[in-house]
Structure 1
Amino acid sequence: MTASSNPIERSFEIAAECCEDLTPLVYRRLFEAHPEAQTMFRTEGSELVKGSMLALTIGAILDFAGERTGHFRLITSEVSSHDAYGTPRELFVAFFAIIAQTLREVIGADWSDDIDAAWRTLLGDIESLVAAQ
C-alpha cells in the first residue's frame, strides 16, 4: 500500500496500522474533556451510534481535507441537526479536535510536523465553516 501524500489521510492510515478501532479512544477523550457530552448519548445502542457517528465524521474530514467531492457537506448539515439536539457549537467543533488529539496519541512519533500543520489548518477551516452556518 502506498502512503497518501495528504497529511490528514496519512494520519488516519498510520493510525489504522496501530489501532483496530478509534471509537473507544475518541469517546473516552471526548467524555473526559466534555463530561456533559456523555449524557447526550442514550444508554442502549449508543456504541453503534458512536461508531457510526465517528465513521461519518472521518469520511467528511477526509473529503474536506482532500478532493471535496461533496461528502464534507455532512459537516454543515450536521451543524443544524446538532443545533436541534441542543449541542453547543463549541462542543460540535471540539469533536474534530478530539479526533486529531486521539490520532496524535495513537501514532506517537509518526505524528510529523506536516501532519500537525495540516490538522491545525483543517481544524481552523472547520471552525470557520461551522461559524458561517
Structure 2
Amino acid sequence: MSTSPNPIEQSFELAAWRCADLTPLVCQRLFNEHPETWAMFRSQGSELVMGSMLALTIEAILDFAGERSGQFRMIACEVASHDGYGTPRELFIAFFTVIRDTLRDLLGDEWSPEMSCAWEQLLTDIEAFAGITA
C-alpha cells in the first residue's frame, strides 16, 4: 500500500483500509458528543443525508489540506447555509473535530504525531476560514 505524504490524506487512506464507511462511526460520535445534533437528523432518510454530508466534508477537507482547487470553498458555503439553519458556528466546526477524533480512534497505533500536528493546524485554519475567532 502506498500512502500520500500529506498526513491528512494519509489518515483517510489508512482509515479506508480499516473501514468501508465512516458514516456510522462519525454519526455516533457526533450524537454522543453533541446530543443537540440528534434532532437535526431525525427525519426519514437521515442516513443518506449524513452520508452525503460526510462525503462532501471529506472532499472539502482533502482539498483544503491539499491543492485548494475549489472543493474547499464548500466550507464557506456551508457555514452560511448552517447560519441560516441557526446552527452555531462552533457546532459546525465541531463536526470537523469529530471526524478527526473518529479517524484517530480508528487508526490507533497508526495515528502518527505528524497526523496529529497536521490535523491541529487544519482545524485552526478551518476555524479562521469559517470566521471563528479564538
TM > 0.5 between the two?
Answer: yes
1:117 match: 117
Query: Equivalent residues in 2 for 1:78-117 (5 A)?
Result: 78-117=78-117
Normalized against structure 2, the TM-score is what? 0.96
Root-mean-square deviation over aligned CA pairs: 1.2
Letter of the 1:63 counterpart: D
2:76 match: 76
* Cα distance between partner residues in 2 of 1:91 and 1:77: 15
What runs of 5+ residues in structure 2 fail to find an aligned partner? none
Q: CA deviation at 1:42?
A: 3.5
Structure 1 position 55 matched with structure 2 position 39: no
1:33 match: 33
Identity %: 63
Structure 1 position 21 matched with structure 2 position 26: no
Q: CA deviation at 1:2?
A: 2.1
What runs of 5+ residues in structure 1 fail to find an aligned partner? none
* Cα distance between partner residues in 2 of 1:32 and 1:110: 24
